Amino acid sequence: MKGRVVKSTGSWYTVKTDQGLINSRLRGKFKQDDLKLTNPIAVGDYVELEMEAGQASSVINEILPRENYIIRKSTRKTHFSHIIASNIDQAFLMVTISQPRTSLGFIDRFLVSTESFRIPATIVVNKTDLVKKEKELDFLELLHEIYDPIGYPVLEISALNDKDLDLLFNESLRGKTTLISGHSGVGKSTLLNKLVPHATQSTKEISKFSAKGVHTTTFAEMFELEGGGYLIDTPGIKEFGILDIDDFELSHYFVEIRQYLGQCRYNNCQHINEPGCIVLQKLEEGYIHPNRYESYLNILYEEDDRR
């Protein structure tokens, strides 16, 4: 039998099949690929499974090849990675300007991971009802300035108060598998509950003390939308550790840098301070946003430190 993993709780997986939802577990010895993963099976995976004799549960024998996935380094086990979800059509990165605050570095790290599979990404700014101070409005403006022109639409919502969220999202969600990711407490589950009528994901106030989320959602879960398509709610992530990539690869995952590749004087240019670097020239001319270039350098130097 074939099916798709819609929920993973560690040792048990809920798999959607023609026969309905089936509780499944992994066969004892399971061959893994080269990736060292904290989760061998991710929500979104298509799997091959087999009913256990005389039981209502099944065993997963095989994972079908993944079309794509969003992966990050595990914060607890540094040599391991964690697949957030697989086989997705688009990603919504939910960000908030305060309570909690999402940094540009975090956004850009996430976008490097979506860009590595060319997964379309949208930046959903939530809790805009709280955006009042001038500094906050400026940051919102900055998000538009940086991301709209390079193909990452910036949507402003209030998952709590907006009445027409389904109208806003229906069109873009229909028939697609969409991942919602972001820090804890930004309102991912709140939005999901609004868009999926039967969903009852827990939501919880952020900590007054730290102004950070309290990690309410603990497992990724995929929900079917009424108009067709799926929405994946995920646990909040603190830091987005990107997988080891080499220096020349990184510039491929910045869309606005990628378009100039091959035009620098030196073909091993890392776009730091080399003469005849077209990227530095475009930065100077204002075609590359300085905040994005800063993220590029930060990730580059971080990778150097690691080595």
Ligand X SMILES: Nc1nc2c(ncn2[C@@H]2O[C@H](COP(=O)(O)OP(=O)(O)OP(=O)(O)O)[C@@H](O)[C@H]2O)c(=O)[nH]1
Interface positions with ligand X (CB under 6 A): 126-127, 129-130, 158-160, 184-190, 203-206, 213, 215-217, 235-236
- 216: CB partners within 8 A, 6+ apart: 184, 185, 189, 202, 203, 204, 236
> Using the rule CB under 5 A, is 190 a contact of Mg ion?
no
Q: Is 269 in the site for Zn ion (CB under 5 A)?
A: yes
**Size of site (CB under 5 A) for Mg ion:** 4
Q: How far is the CB of 191 from Mg ion (least distance, A)?
A: 9
Residues of span 201-240 touching Mg ion by CB under 5 A: 216-217
Residue 84 CB, nearest approach to ligand X (Å): 12
Choose among Zn ion, ligand X, Mg ion, none what residue 277 binds, the Cβ cut-off being 5 to 8 Å by kind: Zn ion
Residue-wise DSSP of 261-302: TT-SSSTT--SSS-TT-HHHHHHHHTSS-HHHHHHHHHHHHH
**Counting contacts by CB under 5 A, is residue 193 touching Mg ion?**
no
Closer to ligand X by Cβ: residue 150 or 168: 168
Partner from Mg ion, Zn ion, ligand X, none binding residue 104, C-beta < 5-8 Å depending on class: none
| Cα–Cα distance for residue pair 133/117, rounded to 1 Å | 37
Q: What angle do CA 129, 113, 298 make, to 5 degrees?
A: 85
* Piece of 9-17, 48-56, 97-105, 264-272 that binds Zn ion (CB under 5 A): 264-272
Please give the angle made by the CA atoms of 299, 212 and 188, to the nearest 5 degrees.
85
Closest CB 1 distance from ligand X, rounded Å: 32
Q: How many CB atoms lie within 10 A of CB 211?
A: 12
C-beta of residue 127 within 8 angstroms of C-beta of residue 97: yes
In the complex with ligand X, which residue's Cβ is closer, 110 or 253? 110
Q: Which does 158 bind (CB under 5 to 8 A by kind): Zn ion, ligand X, Mg ion, none?
A: ligand X
- Would you say 216 or 270 has its CB closer to Mg ion? 216
Sign (positive/negative) of CA torsion 116, 118, 119, 122? positive
Residue 8: φ, ψ to 5°: -135, 125
Q: Which is nearer to ligand X, 14 or 234 (CB)?
A: 234
* Selected binder of Mg ion within 87, 102, 113, 189 (CB under 5 A): 189
Least Å from the CB of residue 155 to Mg ion: 19
Binding site partner of 205, from ligand X, Mg ion, Zn ion, none, Cβ cut-off 5-8 A by kind = ligand X
Which residues are bridge partners to 70 per DSSP?
A: 85
45 close to 87: Cβ distance less than 8 angstroms: yes
CA-to-CA separations, 81 to 22, 34, 77, 133, 144, in angstroms, rounded: 27, 11, 8, 38, 31
Q: Rounded to an integer, what distance in angstroms lies between the CA atom of residue 101 and that of residue 119?
A: 24
| Binding of residue 250 to Zn ion (CB under 5 A) | no
279 is a site residue for Zn ion (CB under 5 A):
yes
CB of 268 vs Zn ion, minimal distance in Å: 9
Residues of this chain that interact with Zn ion (CB under 5 A) are 264, 269, 271, 277, 279
Residues of this chain that interact with Mg ion (CB under 5 A) are 188-189, 216-217
